[in-house]
Amino acid sequence: MRYKNLIDMHTHSDNSPDGSHSVTFICESAERRGLRGLALTDHCECEEYAARRFDISVRNSYFESVKAQSIYSGRLIIMAGVELGQPSQNPEAASGVLSQYDFDFVLASLHNLAGQKDFYYMDYKKSEPREILGLYFSELYELAAGCDYDVLAHLDYPLRYITGRDGIQVDLREYYDKIDRVLRAVIERGKGIEVNTSGYRHPLGRSMPGEEIVRRYHELGGVYITTGSDAHTGADVGRGLAAGMDIIYAAGFRHTALYKKRSPILIPIESDTNP
Ligand SMILES: [Zn+2]
Ligand SMILES: [Zn+2]
């Protein structure tokens, strides 16, 4: 389907260690692609907050996003956001960042287990991926139930590497109890989940999470859902959002969410074909 009012709720500028382009260029890319808006959600990896000087990069990201809001006013909805990685592993850093800036939108992520490296750096052919995934969903529950955030990012993130890169097939049904616990915590707290479309441009070949978990979230009573490309370059801004919207719509949702000053605003899903 062709959707109106697409909003990319997960993008990175060069204020992220692995980002390539300026906030201006990311916004220009969104406008060129006909998006209605975007959230700048640069990384803040909480357990490495001091060591990697996220204090500086988060400040720059926030400052540039707020500037862009006024420059693009009336043309593009811009949200000043952050992707808080592992807030449960350094709650002081997480709450410090959130009290310092008046963010519109806060994504929370779990890129590594406590005391371990990013899932990206693990070799799943030499380790026990099923066990790692179990630990991941347990720790994700702690984060979902206990941390301050708006939307939980890429819910089955380790599969990007376990299956997408290392080719190990995992039956997620093994983890449905754990995943349900995560989803229930999100719903009870009035938070949301995202459909992260970066998986479409990686070997995984699907969104994170995939269709079944999005459907389950809807069945359990989930309301707030966003789509995000997780772009780290201008070229990737908006990529896969329409496919993500297909999944959201098929799961039964008729609204997606954007956030202003950390309050969700539901916007109806409109396309060229639906009534
Ligand atoms: Zn992430
Ligand atoms: Zn990201």
User: Is residue 275 scored above 70 in pLDDT?
Assistant: no
Label residue 274 by pLDDT band (50, 70, 90): low
Query: Does residue 271 fall inside a structural domain?
Result: no
Quote the Cα angle for 233-237-243, to 5°. Answer: 135
In three-state secondary structure terms, 231 is strand
Amino acid 123: pLDDT: 86
Q: Map tokens 């993130």 to a residue.
A: 157
Query: Does residue 190 fall inside a structural domain?
Result: yes
The mean pLDDT of 134-158, rounded to a whole number, is 98
Per the model's pLDDT, the better-predicted residue between 28 and 125 turns out to be 28
User: Is residue 148 scored above 90 in pLDDT?
Assistant: yes
Centroid of ligand 1 to alpha carbon of 85 (angstroms): 7
pLDDT, averaged across the chain: 96
Residue 5 structure tokens: 């009012």
Query: Does residue 1 fall inside a structural domain?
Result: no
Centroid of ligand 2 to alpha carbon of 190 (angstroms): 22
Q: Measured between alpha carbons, how far is 186 from 106 in angstroms, rounded to an integer?
A: 14
In three-state secondary structure terms, 7 is strand
Number of domains comprising the chain: 1
User: Is residue 147 scored above 80 in pLDDT?
Assistant: yes
Centroid of ligand 2 to alpha carbon of 273 (angstroms): 31
Question: Which of these, 57, 63, 29, 56, lies nearest to 43 by C-alpha position?
Answer: 57
Centroid of ligand 2 to alpha carbon of 92 (angstroms): 21
Query: Does residue 274 fall inside a structural domain?
Result: no
In this predicted model, what pLDDT tens digit does every residue of 92-132 receive, in sequence order? 999 999 999 999 999 999 999 999 999 999 888 888 899 99
CATH assignment of the domain containing 72: 3.20.20.140
Residue 145 structure tokens: 């139930």
User: Is residue 273 scored above 80 in pLDDT?
Assistant: no
Centroid of ligand 2 to alpha carbon of 12 (angstroms): 7
Query: Does residue 272 fall inside a structural domain?
Result: no
pTM for this prediction:
0.97
Amino acid 272: pLDDT: 78
Ligand nearest to the CA of 229: 2
Centroid of ligand 2 to alpha carbon of 110 (angstroms): 11
Centroid of ligand 1 to alpha carbon of 211 (angstroms): 19
Q: Who surrounds ion ligand 2 at CB < 5 A?
A: 83, 230
Cβ neighbourhood burial of 20 (10 Å; 0-12, 13-18, 19+): middle
Segments forming the whole domain that contains residue 178: 7-264
Label residue 3 by pLDDT band (50, 70, 90): very high
Residue 117 structure tokens: 């490296």
